[in-house]
Copies of this chain bind each other. A is one copy, B any other.
Amino acid sequence: MVIGGRRSGRPTLEEVAARAGVGRGTVSRVINGSPRVSDHAKAAVEAAIAELGYVPNRAARALAGNRTDAIALVIPEAETRLFAEPYFSDIIRGVGAELADTDMQLLLTLLRTPKERQRFAQYLTAHRVDGVLLASVHEDDPLPDLLEQLEMPTVLSGRRSDLESVSYVDSDNVGGARSAVAHLLGLGRRSVATITGPLDMYVARCRLDGYRQAVEGAGLLHDNALVAAGDFTEEGGRAAMRALLERRPDVDAVFAASDVMAGGALQVLREKGRRVPDDVALIGFDDSAIARHTDPPLTSVRQPIEEMGRTMARVLLEEIAASTATRRHVVLSTELVRRESA
């Protein structure tokens, strides 16, 4: 078709315009759903598009429109090992589902080494994504602040603290944990242990707080021997359960800060010949709005987490839309002028 071999052979907007007998601007308007097009022109353009099998070139669009139509799902360092846990795959599925009828692309970014984080910071600076979904935030993670500085639309799963300044989607961790433990206490259990998540994560501390509140609310003394640290993994749950059984063989109930850890604990309990829930009652926090009671059976109800993924994506898309609007708007306000020329 073309000597240079550079042209891909696919029809361009210009060709569509020619075929439809209109100008390029009109075609662009039709593609982008502008209302300022006559029905007649619109029909002609749509016909031409169909006949030619035209598909807009994303790179050209990104270049001209200064956006990328892509968002990044970032999974930081330590978490890549958790990647196999249902939590992440559910989040991903939810995000994917929400994005399915958008033309946003999902970029998966695993940040293992500091070097990779560095590179990613560059990505962001280069504005190669329109927004960021940040999973599993630890308290000292510098990424949210960077994102905020760059005014990059961002949604966290969980938050760094009570005062989180960035958008997030989170569960009622304190309340859920409290109600779960209250349930165990209501069963008449008196040596209720907990397997926590990594305590540098706010979500984990909240669940521990909920546990404490319930225990103390029942007039019981808080006993550190009943608290074992986990890391949200099944293996962590097993280790913690072993530790608990060793320290307090009389334990008669366990609240695990994650579902997966409850699964690990269950294995160990069975291994040691404990009956669940008769001998030891077990509950795992499911990340849905309330704790899920795993006694008697430990079945999986994953829809809720997937739903969180959907929500994250939805919120992010809104933020992106808003930020675009803002940017456009602020061009007229003194504030942005200041910011732009800074």
Chain A residues engaging chain B, CB cutoff 8 angstroms: 1-2, 4-6, 8-10, 53, 55-60, 62-63, 66, 68, 70, 73, 80, 83-86, 88-90, 92-93, 96-97, 100, 105-110, 112-113, 116, 119, 122, 125-128, 270, 327-328, 331, 336, 340-341
Question: Chain B's nearest CB lies how many Å from the CB of A332?
Answer: 9
Cβ–Cβ contact B127 & A8, under 8 A? yes
Enumerate chain B residues within 8 angstroms of A116, measured Cβ to Cβ: 100
Question: Does B108 contact A93, Cβ atoms closer than 8 Å?
Answer: no
A234 to chain B, nearest CB (A): 10
Q: How far is the CB of A1 from chain B (nearest CB, A)?
A: 5
9 other contacts beyond A63-B63, A73-B108, A100-B119, with CB at 8 A cut-off? A4-B331, A10-B126, A55-B122, A58-B126, A59-B62, A106-B107, A107-B107, A108-B108, A270-B270
Tell whether, in the assembled complex, residue B112 and residue A92 are in contact, meaning their CB atoms are under 8 Å apart.
no
Question: Which chain B positions have C-beta within 8 A of A128?
Answer: 58, 105
Q: Can you spell out 27 A-B residue pairs with CB atoms less than 8 angstroms apart? A: A2-B340, A5-B327, A5-B328, A5-B331, A5-B336, A6-B66, A8-B66, A9-B340, A10-B126, A57-B63, A58-B68, A59-B62, A60-B63, A63-B63, A83-B89, A83-B92, A83-B93, A84-B90, A89-B89, A92-B108, A92-B110, A93-B110, A100-B113, A105-B128, A106-B108, A106-B109, A107-B107
